[in-house]
């Protein structure tokens, strides 16, 4: 996203300053009309298409589309998300298929204010150094704003805020200032602005130019490599991105763009090849179409990885849909001038107009926004009816699901490493009069868990273990099933509970007399576990009791992998800590999950409770 912000700032600043330097004035109204004509039809066309596709393929997201349609159409969705406190990376289930339109909101807000600032700056000074210093001050203020407002528990304010993302937009302005022709007086400005080709100024002879090209080649390679590395390793979950990371990314993007617009740079030719030019010409359509389509093709309830050919097929679908969208909505209709007599009066310069299809679908988009916002329609009921059509199991009666008593392959090795001997194999040569030892079924079993203290009732499929469980909305949503499996258990589940908050919760629960011989924590779906110490704090609170952590399943791979890894690493360092693998237990069982891909439905709740019972009681 940062690269798009930098390009937007570059193009907008170049357009304004070129006009101010050449004519001394700027047509603000005409500029805004061109920007609105460029963005609004695409915005409305997206809103016209997405609700229908949502109803067809992802009805659980329809209510989110209803809520987001009007703010998106008004280019205000970024601030609406801030006021709703909806983090981009931590929405409940999959986010709204219109979430990505926040970028267009920031862009339009930038177009409203930035040209006025550049007109004032352009009239005050012609010096590139002075202009650059003004831009750097704006970037510093924006970055400080992001750092000061950053809240690890809710990143919506700094991620969506126009003020906090302004540094990235302003970075492009720096390049626009320095590649503009040098201006020493009005005549020099007018002469320099006559060139429409974007290129780096040459201040010396061929030798200096050759050196500059070499520098651009090396710098461009390093910048593009850094961007690719950031794309792979960095993301919005990481705190350092809001503490200068986005600013650094903006400067790296600035270097890459500077090398790309240098006509003598190798990257100008590489990035200007036909396939990449084609992608660039369709980039806007690709942006607005890829996000909802990928959500529809990758439901939150998918519990198995997509094969490589599946990704290829999805890429083909996105490209085809984007091309159709481009031809219907985005492509401009060029007015063609017919040959005329050389004595005829000159015609106005040929322009570009929206195609009829763009106007039609824009009107449909407007009607859709009005209907979704004000029509007296039960959109939630419509969505639920469609969801049941797609997934009849949502209405199936809840039935306890019995998993085969088969431990994870690595369990025995882990338990042996911890000195555990609670296996049937350890006693297969014992007396026939002794009852078989029941082995807990879990990825890793606490070394001090004694299942002989607990009794299992096959008639009720319950265990009398005095378990204490603290968790989040997954725990609260499955509490009835867990309580049925553990009649003597104390269960404290609360939506939106995060791991750091659980320290106080656990202390309050134990102070109130709620404790157990075994403790289970079901946490991790709300926020990122930043380090193992967060997990270790809870382990220390239990005072050495047998303790389990339950892995999570959610449609955010990075958060899912990070949090599960943190839980497993902490368990490795504490012999009294085990892991119950809900992620592995639910793999291949989309029927266990609600449409958000996080919370178990009724069938999943009983599967969840059965899994915990097997880990604590062994059956």
Q: What is the dihedral of CA 581, 498, 103, 67, to 10 degrees?
A: 90
pLDDT band at 85 (very low <50, low <70, confident <90, very high): confident
The superfamily (CATH) of domain 411-617 is SGNH hydrolase (3.40.50.1110)
Q: Is 346 strand, coil or helix?
A: coil
339 or 391: which carries more pLDDT confidence? 391
Q: Is 98 strand, coil or helix?
A: coil
Look at residue 90 and tell me whether its pLDDT is greater than 70. Answer: no
Mean pLDDT of the chain: 85
> What are 580-604's pLDDT values in tens digits?
999 999 999 999 999 889 999 989 9
Alpha helices in 375-466 (DSSP H): 379-390, 411-417
Pair type for strands 332-334 and 490-493 = unpaired
How many C-beta neighbours within 10 Å does residue 538 have? 22
Q: What single string gives the DSSP state of each residue in 510-576? A: HHTT---SEEEEE--SSS----HHHHHHHHHHTTT--EEEE----S-HHHHHHHHHHHHHHHHT-TT
Look at residue 338 and tell me whether its pLDDT is greater than 70. Answer: no
- The pLDDT value given to residue 208: 63
Look at residue 503 and tell me whether its pLDDT is greater than 70. Answer: yes
- The pLDDT value given to residue 81: 93
Q: Among 410, 491, 415, which Cα is nearest to 451's?
A: 415
Cα(119)–Cα(16) distance, integer angstroms: 7
Q: Please state the domain extents for the chain.
A: 2-191+272-334+351-389, 411-617
Q: Is 211 strand, coil or helix?
A: helix
Can you tell me the mean pLDDT for 86-111? 84
> What are 505-555's pLDDT values in tens digits?
999 999 999 888 999 999 999 888 988 999 999 999 999 999 999 999 998
Q: Among 309, 285, 288, 306, which Cα is nearest to 297's?
A: 306
Beta-carbon contacts of residue 344 (< 8 Å; ≥ 6 apart) = none
> What are 395-435's pLDDT values in tens digits?
766 555 444 444 444 443 334 444 444 443 444 444 444 55
- The pLDDT value given to residue 419: 42
Paired tokens of 11:
């193009």
- Phi/psi-derived region of residue 273, left when phi > 0, alpha when psi is between -120 and 50, beta in every other case: beta
> What are 102-143's pLDDT values in tens digits?
999 999 999 999 999 999 999 999 999 999 999 999 999 999
Can you tell me the mean pLDDT for 453-461? 90
* 518 to 445, 523, 607: CA distances (angstroms): 12, 16, 20
Kindly tell me the sign of the dihedral angle through the C-alpha atoms of 422, 425, 430, 436: positive
Q: Please report, rounded to a whole number, the percentage of residues in the chain having pLDDT higher than 70.
A: 84
Paired tokens of 129:
């150094």
pTM equals 0.81
How many C-beta neighbours within 10 Å does residue 288 have? 25
H helix or E strand, kind and range, residue 493 = strand 490-493
Q: How far, rounded to the nearest angstrom, does the alpha carbon of residue 458 sit from its chain's CA centroid?
A: 45
Q: Please report, rounded to a whole number, the percentage of residues in the chain having pLDDT higher than 90.
A: 63
Beta-carbon contacts of residue 360 (< 8 Å; ≥ 6 apart) = none
User: What 8-state DSSP symbol labels residue 125?
Assistant: -
């Amino acid at each position: 996203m940062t690269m798009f912000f930098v390009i937007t700032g570059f193009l907008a600043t170049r357009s304004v300053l070129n006009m101010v330097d050449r004519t001394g004035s700027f047509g603000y109204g005409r500029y805004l009309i061109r920007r609105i004509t460029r963005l609004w039809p695409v915005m409305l066309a997206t809103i016209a298409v997405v609700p229908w596709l949502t109803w067809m393929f992802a009805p659980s997201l329809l209510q989110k589309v209803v809520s987001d349609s009007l703010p998106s159409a008004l280019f205000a969705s970024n601030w609406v998300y801030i006021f709703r406190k909806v983090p981009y990376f931590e929405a409940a289930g999959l986010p709204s298929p219109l979430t990505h339109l926040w970028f267009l909101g920031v862009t339009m807000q930038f177009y409203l204010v930035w040209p006025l600032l550049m007109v004032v700056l352009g009239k005050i000074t012609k010096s590139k150094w002075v202009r650059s210093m003004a831009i750097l001050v704006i970037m510093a203020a924006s970055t400080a704003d992001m750092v000061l407002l950053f809240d690890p528990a809710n990143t919506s304010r700094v991620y969506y805020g126009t003020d906090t993302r302004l540094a990235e937009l302003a970075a492009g302005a720096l390049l626009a200032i320095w590649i503009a022709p040098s201006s020493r007086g009005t005549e020099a400005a007018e002469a320099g602005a006559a060139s429409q080709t974007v290129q780096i100024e040459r201040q010396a002879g061929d030798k200096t130019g050759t050196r500059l090209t070499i520098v651009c080649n090396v710098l461009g390679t390093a910048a593009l490599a850094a961007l690719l590395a950031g794309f792979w390793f960095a993301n919005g979950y990481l705190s350092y991105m809001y503490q200068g990371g986005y600013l650094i990314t903006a400067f790296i993007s600035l270097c890459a763009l500077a090398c790309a617009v240098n006509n003598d740079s190798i990257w100008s030719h590489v990035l200007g090849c036909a396939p990449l030019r084609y992608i660039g010409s369709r980039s806007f359509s690709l942006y607005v179409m890829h996000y909802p389509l990928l959500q529809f093709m990758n439901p939150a309830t998918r519990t198995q990885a997509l094969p490589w050919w599946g990704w290829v097929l999805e890429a083909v679908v996105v490209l085809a849909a984007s091309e159709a969208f481009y031809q219907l909505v985005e492509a401009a209709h060029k007015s063609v001038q017919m040959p005329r007599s050389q004595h005829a009066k000159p015609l106005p310069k040929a322009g570009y107009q929206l195609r009829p299809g763009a106007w039609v679908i824009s009107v449909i988009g407007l009607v859709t926004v009005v209907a979704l916002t004000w029509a007296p329609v039960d959109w939630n009921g419509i969505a639920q009816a469609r969801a049941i059509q797609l997934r009849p199991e949502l209405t199936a009666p809840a039935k306890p699901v019995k998993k085969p008593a088969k431990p994870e392959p690595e369990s025995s090795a882990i338990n042996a490493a911890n000195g555990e001997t609670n296996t049937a194999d350890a006693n297969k040569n014992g007396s026939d009069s002794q009852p078989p030892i029941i082995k807990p079924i879990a990825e890793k079993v606490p070394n001090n868990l004694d299942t002989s203290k607990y009794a299992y009732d096959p008639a009720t499929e319950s265990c009398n273990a005095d378990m204490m469980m603290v968790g989040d909305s997954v725990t609260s949503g499955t509490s009835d099933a867990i309580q049925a499996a553990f009649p003597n258990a104390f269960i404290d589940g609360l939506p939106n509970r995060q791991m750091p908050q659980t320290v106080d919760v656990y202390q309050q629960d134990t102070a109130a007399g709620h404790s157990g011989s075994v403790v289970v924590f079901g946490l991790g779906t709300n926020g990122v576990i930043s380090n193992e110490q967060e997990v270790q704090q809870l382990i220390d609170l239990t005072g050495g009791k047998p303790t389990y952590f339950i892995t999570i399943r959610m449609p955010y791979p990075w958060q899912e992998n990070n949090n599960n890894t943190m839980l497993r690493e902490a368990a490795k360092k504490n012999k009294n800590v085990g892991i119950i693998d809900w992620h592995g237990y639910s793999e291949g069982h989309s029927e266990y999950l609600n449409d958000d891909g996080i919370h178990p439905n009724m069938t999943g709740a009983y599967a969840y409770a059965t899994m915990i019972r097997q880990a604590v009681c062994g059956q």
